[in-house]
Amino acid sequence: MIDIKFLRENPDIVKENIKKKFQDKKLPLVDEVIELDKKVREAQQEADSLRESRNKLSKQIGALMKEGKKDEAEAVKAEVTKNAERLAELEESENTLREQIKEKMMIIPNIIDPSVPIGKDDSENVEIEKFGEPVVPDYEIPYHTDIMARFDGVDFEAAGKVAGNGFYYLVGDIARLHSAVISYARDFMIDRGFTYCVPPFMIRSHVVTGVMSFEEMDAMMYKIEGEDLYLIGTSEHSMIGKFQDSLLEEEKLPYTMTSYSPCFRKEKGAHGIEERGVYRIHQFEKQEMIVVCKPEESMEWYDKLWQNTVDFFRSLDIPVRTLECCSGDLADLKVKSCDVEAWSPRQKKYFEVGSCSNLSDAQARRLGIKVKGKDGSKYYAHTLNNTCVAPPRMLIAFLENNLNADGSVNIPEALRMYMGGKEKLIPTN
């Protein structure tokens, strides 16, 4: 959510930003907010005038009563009562107008960074850099679920009976590999100086609307029936919520935290051949990272965050690339975002395994996360988030890039301590 003062003073900039995001249907919102804001300030001025008049009249009543002028005092009291009724009307109107402004402001997208490429959707995202040499072996790379099946490592049929489509059982070495990747990611991020945290896996509705747009909320979140609780779609939600309504000491910034959680999402996306298996699912686990920092440091942290993910995947011998998200592919709260994509030797292309985002002060404004400067000033913090790793999707890249011609799978040195010292996985089928 952008600053109302900025919108009031720069409506053309806000409208141009909406156009850059190809959301022209939202253009009328800017003028609507300005008109509502005008009415609020007019109501405020009248209310302030009435309060000032009330104070003066109250003093008059006291003076008149002392002078024994009871009738005149009663007349002034009647005026005070009339003013109080009007003041109550104004306060109610002001609250209603503020709610209308808030609803519209939460739909208006954040101002994107000038460096963001302009494009309508993810097809116009821009490759930034490649890390590692993508290799296509001279032997066939099976579909990832077929690789898992060789190890008796996945069961969709039983999961379908228990929970429906979009769920799975991971079994044996594949399940152990999944847990090993999460454990390694935890320690990897701790070694990078991040504080480890296991957050709540459910959050209240005001936290949901504080960290994401309404469109994302409808597409992603599972609501707990009869409760003001939602299952998290990513631990970033509850991690940022941890700081709600806080006044943070500037000298304690930045807060750098890495969190483990299961994640739950309604949206399965497309159902093409590359969407089956464990690519798009309703439940998965993730090691996330978040930063709460001063505004002037957020872009520096943005670069550090995506680099952490690149370094993590390279430590597991997986080639990756970074892709700058264009304006039309940015969620409304984001000012800048990039995806980390892993190489798929079977598909001979890259696919998304993580996303890094700078949300500037958008989440902080919604959740009331402020910083107290050394000079006593107060300002909104900046928040960022990034995926370190999200298996089981990451397992697709891992299995394909570490698969040998005989069907065995190499275990990179970094993972061996989490796999009981194993250097290879040997198929059972």
> Over the stretch 64-91, which tens digit does the pLDDT of each residue have?
676 777 777 667 677 777 878 888 888 8
Once rounded to an integer, what is the mean pLDDT over residues 109-125? 97
pLDDT at 70: 72
The domain total for the chain is 2
Q: Do residues 257 and 292 share a domain?
A: yes
- Shared domain for 271 and 339, answered yes or no, is yes
| Same-domain pairing of 180 and 216 | yes
Is 248 within 8 Å of 291 (Cβ atoms)? no
Residues 1/111, Cβ–Cβ less than 8 Å: no
For residues 273-278, give the mean pLDDT: 66
Confidence band, pLDDT 50/70/90 cuts, at residue 399: very high
Q: Is 377 exposed, middle or buried (0-12, 13-18, 19+ CB in 10 A)?
A: exposed
Number of H helices, E strands in the chain: 14, 18
**Which domain, by its residues, includes 57?**
4-105
Note whether 382 and 414 are same-domain residues.
yes
Angle, helices 11-20 vs 27-66, to 10°: value is: 150
CATH number at residue 365: 3.30.930.10
Q: What is the pLDDT of residue 422?
A: 96
Coil/strand/helix, residue 422: coil
Q: How many whole angstroms separate alpha carbon 156 and alpha carbon 107?
A: 39
Instruction: Judge if 250 and 330 occupy the same domain.
Output: yes
Residues 6+ apart with CB under 8 A from 412: 315, 316, 317, 402
Give the model's pLDDT for residue 271: 46
Domain boundary residue among 105, 130, 147? 105
In a domain, 112, yes or no: no
As a whole number of Å, the CA-based R_g of the chain is 28
Q: Contact 321/341 with Cβ under 8 angstroms?
A: yes
Statement to judge: residues 174 and 73 lie in one domain: no
Domain-ending residue, one of 105, 138, 156? 105
Mean per-residue pLDDT over the chain, rounded: 92
* Residue 398 belongs to a domain: yes
- Between CA 43 and CA 105 the distance in angstroms is 20
Calpha distance 61→377 (Å, rounded): 41
E strand or H helix at 368, and its extent? Answer: none
Q: Is residue 111 part of a domain?
A: no
Reported pTM? 0.89
Closest C-alpha among 259, 320, 307, 273 to residue 133: 320
Task: Tell me, yes or no, whether 90 and 193 share the same domain.
Answer: no
Has residue 117 been placed in a domain?
no
Question: Could you tell me if 381 and 348 lie in one domain?
Answer: yes
Interval 190-201 mean pLDDT: 98
**346 lies in a domain?**
yes
List the single range of 52-66, 82-96, 142-156, 229-243 with lowest mean pLDDT: 52-66
pLDDT value of residue 267: 66
> Same structural domain for residues 321 and 379?
yes
165 and 131 together in one domain = yes
Could you tell me the CATH number of the domain that includes residue 32?
1.10.287.40
Indicate whether 62 and 132 sit together in one domain.
no
Residues 184 and 311 in one domain: yes
What pLDDT, on the 0 to 100 scale, is given for residue 273? 43
292 strand-pairing partners: 255, 383
Asked which of 70, 105, 140 is the last residue of a domain, the reply is: 105
